[in-house]
Amino acid sequence: MAQTCDLPIDSCRKCTISLTELRSDHILLPVSPLILARWTERVVPPALPESTPFTLDPYPMAPRSRHLLVLAALGAPAALFAQAAPDSVTAAAPAVASAADSLANAANVAAAANGVAINFVWTLVAGFLVMFMQAGFAMVETGFTRAKNAAHTATMNFMVYGIAMAAYWAVGFAIQAGGLGPILTLGQAADTATLTRALSVTFGGHTWNLAGLSGFFLAGVNYTAPVFAYFLFQMVFMDTTATIPTGALAERWKWGSFIGLSLCIGGLIYPLYANWVWGGGWLSQLGSNLGLGHGHVDFAGSSVVHMTGGVIALVCARLLGPRRGKYGPAGKVNAIPGHNIPMAMFGTFILCFGWFGFNAGSTLAGGDLRIGVIATNTMLAGAFGAITAMIYMQVRYGKPDPSMLANGALAGLVAITAPCAFVTAPSAVLIGSIAGVLVCWSVFFVERTLRVDDPVGAISVHGVNGAFGVLAVGLFADGTYGEGWNGVAGGVRGLFYGDAGQLGAQLVGITTNLLVVGGLAYLCWTVIGLVTGGHRVSAEAEELGLDIPEMGALAYPDTQDISSAVVLATASAHAAKPTTKAAA
C-alpha cells in the first residue's frame, strides 16, 4: 500500500533514495527518484500544484524491476568504496606495494625482537630456578648428615655459591665459552659475536678446539647483554657441579680445603670439560670431524654437570677417607643415619622444581616449543625413579627407605638431563625407572665394595646416573630433534634408531670425563693439601662435630651440650699454641 506525503516532490528529502548515477568517468553518485524516472523513460507530470498530495511510489514499476532497483540500491555503497579512476589505480600501485613491503619488514623486525626478548626472559628465569636449587642441595645434604655437623654442611652449600662463582667469573667462563661464537637465540649474530677466540690444534687434517681464550673477568664484553645472560645461566650450572662434592666429603672436611677445591672446580675442572661439550670443543666435534653421530651430546648436563661433580666426589672422598666409625675392624659397614629426613625430603622437592629450569631452560629459547616435551620427560623420569627405588628397597630389604626414595627421584632427574629433548615419554619413564634401581645398587656398591664413604649418596646419584644419562642419548634418541646439532645434519639418533656412531661418541665423552676430570681432581687435591696442611679435621673435632671447631657456631644450640663443646674446642686450641711458637 502506497504512503502519501504533502510536500512537493522535488523538495522532499525523505524521498531521496540512496541509489546512484553513472557519470562519464565511471564514478557512481547518489541520485534521486526524479533522475531515476528520467533514466527509465518515465516522465514526471510537469506541473503539479504544491498542495497536491503524492505517493512515495510515483512511478509504478513491475515487481521484478522493483526488486532489481532495491538490489542496486544496496550494492551502491560498496561500489563507491571499491572504485577509483583507472589512471589513479595504476599510479598508486607501486606506492601501495612499497608501503606493504615496509609494513611487512617492520612486522618481521618487531617479531624477531619479540622473539629475542622472550628468549632472554626464559633463559634468565630458568637460571633463577637453577640458582634456587642451591637451597635444595643445602637441605638434602644437611638432612642426611648428623646434627653436630649441620652448620658446617649448610655453610659449605651457602659459600660454594660465591667462592666458585668468583673463580668462574675470573677465568672459568672464558675457558668454557671464550670460543663459543654468536649466541643466536639471544640475538647475537656472527658480526656482533664477542666470544670468538679459542685454543685449537690441527690433527689428522681436522681442527680441534681445546679451550676458550676470551671473556676473562667478563672483560671485552662490557654490556653485551646476550653474553651476560649466558654467563648467568652457565654459572648456576657450574655451581651445581661444585656443590656435589660437599655432600660426599661432609662431616670430616677442613674448611680451608673446601675453599680451595671450590676455586679449582669453578676456575678449571668444570669449565674445561664444559668447553669440550658445550663450548665448541673437541668432544662436540667428534661428529663433524670423525662421523661419530652428532659428537658427544649432552642436552642439559648429565655428564657436564653431574658426572663431573660425581667423579670429583669419588676421587676426593677416596683420598679423604671415611668418617670415624663408618667401618668396623672386621670390615663391617656401619650405618650413620642423617639427623633430619623431612628436611632432606623437602630439599628434594625444591630440586625437582628447579630441575624444570635446568632441563627446559637449556633450550635458551622460550619460543622452542620442545620445552613442553622436555619438562614433561623431566617430571616423568624423576617420579618413576622414586617409584622403582621404593620397589627395589621394599623387595630387597623389606622397607622403603625414605633416603633412597629421595635419591631415586634425584637419580631419575640426573639420568634424563642429557636425553630429555631427544626421547619419547615412554623412553623417559624407562630411563627414570632404570636410574631408580641403579642408584640403590650403586650406593651399596660404593659403600661396601669400593669402601668409599659418601654420606649423602652423591657419587651414585650424580656420577653413576650422569654416565647412564649420556648413554641413554646414544641408545634412545629417536631423531625427531637436534637438527644441525654440533654442525651435523639431521636429528640426533641413538643406537636403537640406527646410529651406532652416536653411542660411540657418548662412550668417548664418558671415558674422557673419568680420566681428565678424575686426574685434575687428584692434581688439585694434592696441591690444595700442600697449601692448607691437609684436608681432614682432627679426630677430636670430628668426634665433637665440625660446627664449633670449624664454624664457631652450633646449628642447634638448644639441643647440644654447649659447655662441653666449648671446653673441648678451647683445649684443642691451647694444645696447638706451643707448636705454633716452636714453628715460629
Concatenate the DSSP letters of all residues of 91-131 into one string: HHHHHHHHHHHHHHHHHHHHHHHHHHHHHHHHHHHHHHHHH
Separation CA 423–CA 479 (nearest Å): 9
Separation CA 309–CA 324 (nearest Å): 24
- Residue 211's beta-bridge partner residues? 199
Query: Which contacts of 75-84 are long-range, i.e. CB under 8 A and separated by 24 or more positions?
Result: 76/18, 76/19, 76/20, 76/28, 76/30, 77/18, 79/20, 79/28, 80/20, 80/28, 83/26, 83/27, 83/28
What are the residues whose beta carbons fall under 8 Å from the beta carbon of 483, sequence distance 6 or more?
489, 490, 491
What are the residues whose beta carbons fall under 8 Å from the beta carbon of 469, sequence distance 6 or more?
298, 302, 303, 306, 307, 414, 415, 416, 417, 418, 419, 431, 435
Amino acid in the structure at residue 518: G
- Contact at 8 Å (CB) between 323 and 338? no
Handedness of CA 31, 34, 35, 40 (dihedral sign): positive
The DSSP secondary structure of 183-211, one letter per residue, reads -GGGT--GGG-----EEEEEETTEEEEEE
**Domain segments of the chain as ranges:** 4-84, 107-544
The pairing of strands 4-5 and 19-22 is unpaired
First CA to last CA distance, the chain: 127
Neighbours of 133 (CB within 10 A): 22
Separation CA 581–CA 576 (nearest Å): 9
**Residue 380 C-alpha from the chain's centroid:** 17
User: Is CATH 3.50.50.60 the classification given to domain 107-544?
Assistant: no
Helix boundaries (H) for 418-462: 425-444, 458
Neighbours of 97 (CB within 10 A): 10
- Contact at 8 Å (CB) between 456 and 443? no
Single out the residue of 477, 455, 146, 168 nearest to residue 302, CA to CA.
477
Nearest 5°: the CA angle 414, 211, 259 is: 60
C-alpha cell at 539: 679426630
Separation CA 407–CA 461 (nearest Å): 6
User: Which uninterrupted H or E stretch holds 549?
Assistant: none
Local confidence pLDDT in tens for the 584 residues of the chain: 444 444 444 444 444 333 344 444 444 444 444 444 444 444 444 554 554 444 444 445 555 555 544 455 555 444 444 444 445 545 555 665 576 677 778 777 777 789 999 999 999 999 999 999 999 999 999 999 999 999 999 999 999 999 999 999 999 999 999 999 999 999 999 999 999 999 999 999 999 999 999 999 999 888 899 999 999 999 999 999 999 999 999 999 999 999 999 999 999 999 999 999 999 999 999 999 999 999 999 999 999 999 999 999 999 999 999 999 999 988 899 999 999 999 999 999 999 999 999 999 999 999 999 999 999 999 999 999 999 999 999 999 999 999 999 999 999 999 999 999 999 999 999 999 999 999 999 999 999 999 999 999 999 999 999 999 999 999 999 999 999 999 999 999 999 999 999 999 999 999 999 999 999 999 999 999 999 999 999 999 999 999 999 999 999 998 755 445 555 555 555 555 544 333 33
